[in-house]
């Protein structure tokens, strides 16, 4: 079976269950950190894929990681995933769920990368431009410092990328000089 198909199916099933139980937003908030990837994710994978670790212990580790409440839809789902030997797909399932939730609730993720900390007014100006281009869409803004950009910034909204970094300008100049 396709590596992308399994996580999508599980994510759809979790979303359907969450909507029925009225906790889709809570699960979304709990799975967002897992979908981004966490420090120590490789260690977690080793624990989850270790056949000598009991299913209950794997479930307990996952519940602590995402902050699931005992008896919640997410707890039951995590135990099901572990029982079905699909623990290796948990990050991809979380990513698929987060993407599905964002689609259903018209939420756009905005990543702003800059070489240094941007003043709040500049971040707000960038966000305002995006809001005008995407009326009615809720924006989730994440600002990250990326010193390798040298200067300027990069804005990513979904599949759209605006690269106004010095690094990009230097690469473009290098290409022009070479041709």
Regarding whether 75 and 36 lie in a shared domain, the answer is: yes
Contact (CB, 8 A) for 88 and 7: no
Write down which residue in 103, 118, 150 finishes a domain.
Answer: 103
Regarding whether 120 and 80 lie in a shared domain, the answer is: no
Question: What is the DSSP code (8-state) at residue 89?
Answer: G
Write down which residue in 79, 103, 127 finishes a domain.
Answer: 103
Would you place residue 73 in the very low, low, confident or very high pLDDT band (cuts 50, 70, 90)? Answer: confident
Query: Burial code of 69-78, b = ≥16 C-beta within 10 A, e = fewer?
Result: eeebbbbebb
Regarding whether 87 and 34 lie in a shared domain, the answer is: yes
Regarding whether 94 and 18 lie in a shared domain, the answer is: yes
Q: What is the pLDDT of residues 95-153, one digit of tens each?
A: 999 999 999 999 999 999 998 999 999 999 999 999 999 999 999 999 999 999 888 88
* pLDDT at residue 25, rounded to an integer: 93
Regarding whether 131 and 74 lie in a shared domain, the answer is: no
Q: Is the pLDDT of residue 155 over 90?
A: yes
* pLDDT at residue 131, rounded to an integer: 94
Question: Which residues form the domain of 65?
Answer: 5-103
Contact (CB, 8 A) for 48 and 89: no
Q: Is the pLDDT of residue 72 over 90?
A: no
* pLDDT at residue 173, rounded to an integer: 84
* pLDDT at residue 171, rounded to an integer: 85
Regarding whether 124 and 45 lie in a shared domain, the answer is: no
* pLDDT at residue 39, rounded to an integer: 55
Write down which residue in 103, 129, 155 finishes a domain.
Answer: 103
Regarding whether 22 and 72 lie in a shared domain, the answer is: yes
Regarding whether 66 and 153 lie in a shared domain, the answer is: no
Instruction: Identify the CATH number of the domain in which residue 147 sits.
Output: 3.40.30
Report the side by side order of strands in the sheet with 160-165.
138-145, 107-114, 152-157, 160-165
Regarding whether 68 and 23 lie in a shared domain, the answer is: yes
45 Cβ neighbours under 8 A, 6+ residues apart: 87, 88
Tell me how many domains the chain contains: 2
Residue 142, beta-bridge partner list: 111
* pLDDT at residue 11, rounded to an integer: 95
Q: Is the pLDDT of residue 70 over 80?
A: no
Q: Is the pLDDT of residue 91 over 90?
A: no
Q: What is the pLDDT of residues 20-67, one digit of tens each?
A: 999 999 999 988 887 776 556 677 778 778 888 888 888 787 777 777
């Amino acid at each position: 079976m396709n590596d992308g198909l399994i996580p999508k199916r599980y994510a759809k099933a979790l979303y359907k269950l969450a909507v029925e139980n009225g906790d889709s937003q809570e699960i979304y908030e709990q799975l967002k950190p897992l979908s981004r990837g966490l420090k120590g994710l490789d260690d977690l994978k080793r624990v989850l894929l270790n056949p000598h670790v009991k299913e209950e212990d794997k479930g307990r580790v996952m519940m602590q990681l995402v902050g699931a409440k005992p008896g919640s839809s997410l707890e039951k789902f995590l135990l099901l995933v572990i029982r079905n030997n699909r623990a290796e797909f948990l990050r991809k399932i979380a990513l698929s769920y987060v993407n599905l939730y964002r689609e259903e609730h018209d939420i756009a993720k905005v990543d702003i990368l800059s070489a240094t900390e941007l003043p709040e007014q500049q971040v707000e100006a960038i966000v305002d431009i995006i809001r005008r281009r995407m009326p009615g869409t809720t924006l989730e803004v994440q600002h990250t410092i990326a010193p390798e950009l040298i200067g300027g910034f990069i804005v990513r909204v979904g599949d759209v990328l605006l690269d106004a970094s010095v690094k990009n300008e230097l690469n473009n100049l290098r290409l022009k000089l070479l041709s």
